[in-house]
Amino acid sequence: MKKIAMLGVGYVGLVSGTGLADFGNEVVCYDIDSTKIENLKKGIIPIYEPGLADLVKKNVEKGRLSFSMDFDQVIQDSEVIFLAVPTPSGKAGEVDLSYVFTAVDNIAKVINGFKVIVTKSTVEVGTNDKIRERMLGNNIPAEMFEVVSNPEFLREGSAIGDFMRPDRVVLGTSSERALNIMKEIYRALYLIETPIVATDIRTAEMIKYASNAFLATKISFVNEIANLCELVGADVQMVAKAMGLDGRIGKKFLHAGPGYGGSCFPKDTSALTKIAEKAGMHASIVETVIAVNERQKMRPVEKLLKFLPDLKGRTVGILGLAFKPNTDDVREAPAISVIRAILKAGGKIKAYDPEAMNEMRRHFPDITYVASSEDAIKDADALIIMTEWNEFRNMDLKFIKSVMKQPIMIDARNIYDPQKVQALGFKYDCIGRKIEN
């Protein structure tokens, strides 16, 4: 068992800290946001993630997980310090490392013995070297600390399973001592034979960006193929299914839709292009992935305009606001682009999401938020499905048609059978499948 400090109780920090506690470590989570810490002490979880609340409760009761605002005590009592602080995008798309460096400077002020400083936040290549330089610049002797890059690969909505049963654990360090400590922290994973990928620090940092950029590339690629399928009369779902059966390609992330969003793919692809620029090259594929994704976010609106060329005064029901199901995260969500375009065209919005409406209110405080999918659909001129929550997958389509002003459905997640929906009298469109108009 190791004594661990987790700095930051955002998505990555809270899930990782709770998971490490479940592995048998003693974890204390710290955050500068006192409200978050006080709420966590009361069992109030600041994010929606299936299974997280129960896991937090379990490990708090076992005495392995706690929350504190006493930074000095948290650092001094720890053997290993995880940095899970925000690394937002700057104005030009680069990574803002100010929170990381502030945390490092504060660690240097109170360090009282050997510490392993582990970067969990997503940082640009070379950041961990700068952390080392910053510690040395704060007159901390080299023998007092080691630096490790331990990037996270958590999918929102599936984060608990991803942490407990990861595809791999990446550990980047030049220190055998630090590597052994990290292996001890993740010792529980040896029971399920999780590969530990031990690399140098810069390779570990690059693994994170390369992984996310490749997954984003698969999404943009299949969306571009979907758009082409519409033009040539092919079905993207069958194309993707056949592609996915090829072991060299794999079936994951080949679902056509309105583009990717969230906290990782948009930020990481943008950051990778900036890393490439600094190194003197253009990441041409990644730049194209970003451009394709931005265009794809407007596909639902383009399809809506085929049925309703003039949106002025029209009411559009939006089902799903989060960028994916099983999360309340709306960061870079395609729904934001769709809502903004409809409002700009003079349309009105009635929106429903099982978890993400409070988050979306920060972007659009004045649109109408309703308590159910039925309320969003009632008296609407059109319906757009933007997130594939389970509750949207088996709706009573006859009822929907009966309460809408016009039976127009844009299925941006391809969850309904086009022929069955059209047979009920809907004007229907989706992404990349054959539609009989």
Residues acting as catalytic residues: 264
Output helix, strand, coil percentages for the chain, rounded to the nearest 5.
45, 15, 40
Going edge to edge, which strands form the sheet with 315-319? Answer: 368-369, 348-352, 315-319, 382-385, 408-411, 427-429
Residue 192 and residue 79: Cα distance in Å, rounded?
26
Torsional sign, CA 277, 204, 64, 106: negative
Tokens 């582990």 belong to 118
CA distance 280 to 329: 34
CA dist 220 and 291 (Å) reads 9
DSSP, collapsed to helix, strand or coil, labels residue 56 as helix
Work out whether the CA dihedral 313, 319, 322, 324 comes out positive or negative.
negative
Helix (H) or strand (E) holding 131: helix 127-137
Query: How far apart, in whole angstroms, are the C-alpha atoms of residue 338 and residue 347?
Result: 11
